[in-house]
Structure 1
Amino acid sequence: MNHKNRRDFLKTSGFAVAGSVLSIPSLGSTFLEKKDWTVGEIMDLFISQVPDAPFPTTVDTLKSGNKDIVVTGIVTTMFATITVIREAIAKHANFIIAHEPTFYNHLDETEWLEDDEVFEYKKQLLDEHGIAVWRNHDYVHSLQIDGVQKGVVEQIGWSDYYKNDAVLNIPQTNLKDLISLLKKNLDVPAMRYVGDLNQSISKVLLYPGAIGGRRQIEGLMLERPDVLIVGESPEWETPEYVRNANEKGDQVSLVVIGHSASEEGGSAFMADWVKKFIPDMPVYHIPSENSLKIF
């Protein structure tokens, strides 16, 4: 069965598992009760709700374990850190849904890490406890409503201003108070910024994560927001552009949250998705926190 036919089959016909006939729901309905779920079935259920999925090329693959593992519990997180893995073990959860790479590069290529002690320790920990790790990056971003963006907006407290778009028109504030709000609601001790703390802010361009300096700058050129909020950006790209814009006389600001905090709301979204569609499954959202500390 090819990818398109397989997706159509899942959406229209349902599938039978453990004696129960299950139908694939829309995002507005709740999944029927089922006793045992495998890793592959949960992956397929989520992917079936993504337009034009499954994708022929994606980084959203299993990084450990296999699709036949019967799931005892799920942990959602940004990064499957060793600390998160240990917490999953303590909670008897054997399926981690992470948003970012597990092995330090975008494609999770591991050949170059062979014989490295850090890699071997992490891999052995996962293997010994039979834990599957699935990166859900491309698919969750490709939902009809971007799951990461939606989760972050909810975490900030801007749901009333969200129109399934990166542009949000919020009540007028200033840059200083905006940063204070982000720090409080995203639980980040400090943020880097470019701009005037007294600048008036009402039009926000929100790009969680790291979409690249060119796309960030193109967003500024197109949308002309008061502030661009990002997860991270190379210092020689967007920060320099915004600095030059201010030197020219424009009033525009940049706030850099940090990659983990800027998208952790997406992992909270995934935990809520599990609760909604697999209500009997134990699920825990464990923030992986930022690897970089502030002194």
Structure 2
Amino acid sequence: MTPEKPGRREFVDTLTKASLLLTLPGITPTAAFWQPAEPVTVGQVMDLILKTIPNAPFPKTVDTLKSGTADQKVTGIVSTMFATMDVIEQTARLGANFIIVHEPTFYNHADETDWLDKDEVFKRKHDLLAKHGIAVWRFHDYWHSHRPDGIRMGVVTALGWEKYMDSTNPRIITLPAPLPLKQIITHAKEKLGIAMMRVVGDPAQSCRRILLMPGASGGRSHILAIQQDKPDVILCGEISEWETAEYVRDARQQGQKLSLGILGHIMSEAPGMQWLVPWLQPKLPGMKITYIDSKNPFMYL
């Protein structure tokens, strides 16, 4: 049994250093830091964040409060991928009462709960949030719409590829020299704390141009990006097995030098919620903001 490795701890420590705050894209020494004269509310924090997002607020979005109210006073903020039972308990122990998550809290994209009304797992989680008075806000559509995309920047920073990112096409990474596919996969596993990756391709293939697409943008998006960007390898979060993998397999059987590495949805996006902490902290200098790793639930037998 091989659990996921906690391979991003060094990255968290690095990002929280004050010296790095001013070097991250989107963070400048002249940023207008908000120093409230009185305790801030959940709604005020949300509004502060939305002011940085182009065209926000959106008329239709899944980024809504899943628990709590906009007018409750914030005692501390936690950033994470999922508001798991463990994350909720850890948040309470920290004395925080506002969790900003990237993914759903109640097991479906829109966090609809009418179908879970009599479900014991849902009820216990709902009651735990109410017990501790914790507000949960999903920050998915907006964080991806930030410029630069907050999730992408977290992943690129964790991989140490910031200087190799194409400024006009951020999904493209051009390494200074070609590397074998196996070496790139090993690097991604080590930097992102991934125990195992599924790969389509030749481990010895020489790769320099990387198409990085974290999360679940879908097979059509992957394939259109491959057509446009002509990468040596695509590293993506997750796939439907009949889409991107089959396209890459066919391309290879036709003689193309193209490979695929699947990072996993969680492991490909969690660094973006780590990156949220140093991005948000200067805007709320008196607020304790903490990243909690909700971890990958899977093990490998």
Q: In structure 1, what residue type is equivalent to 2:75?
A: T
Q: Cα–Cα, structure 1 residues 118 and 100, in superposed 2: closer, same or farther, change >3 Å?
A: same
Amino acid paired to 1:102: T
What residue in structure 1 maps to residue 249 of structure 2? 243
Aligned residue type for 1:147: G
Mapped partners of 2:291, 2:32: distance in 1: 20
Equivalent in the alignment of 1:115 = 118
1:64-113 CA distances to partner (integer Å, 9 max, x unpaired)?
Answer: 00101111111101111111111101111100000011111111111111
% same residue: 47
Asked if 2 retains the 8 angstrom alpha-carbon contact of 1:213 and 1:234, the reply is yes
The letter of the residue matching 1:257 is: L
Please state how far the C-alpha of 1:27 moved relative to its aligned partner.
5.0
Give the 3-state SS of the residue equivalent to 1:75 in structure 2: strand
1:105 aligns with 2:108: yes
Could you say which residue in structure 1 is the equivalent of 2:83?
80
Higher RCO (C-alpha under 8 Å, 6+ residues apart): 2
CA contact (8 A) 1:260 1:288 kept: no
**Are 1:57 and 2:63 counterparts?**
no
Contact 2:82 2:101 in 1 (8 A): yes
Q: Distance in 1 between matches of 2:265 and 2:197?
A: 11
On the 8 A contact 2:166/2:174 being kept in 1, the answer is no
- Corresponding letter in the other structure for 2:171: A
User: What is the Cα-based RMSD across aligned positions, in Å?
Assistant: 1.2
Among 222, 232, 242, the residue aligned to 2:228: 222
Partner Cα distance (2:186, 2:160) in 1? 13
Task: Name the counterpart of 1:33.
Answer: 35
Shift of 1:288: 1.2
Q: Which residue of 2 aligns with 1:46?
A: 49
Q: Tell me which residue corresponds to 1:212.
A: 218
Shift of 1:273: 2.0
**Amino acid corresponding to residue 150 of structure 1 in structure 2:** M
What does the per-residue CA deviation read over 1:263-288, in whole Å, with 9 as the maximum and x for residues that have no partner?
01110121112212111111111111
Partner of 1:271: 277
Q: How far apart are the structure 2 equivalents of 1:93 and 1:222?
A: 45
Q: Is 1:134 equivalent to 2:131 in the alignment?
A: no
2:259 maps to which of 248, 253, 257: 253
Match of 1:168 in 2: 173
Residue 145 of structure 1 corresponds to 148
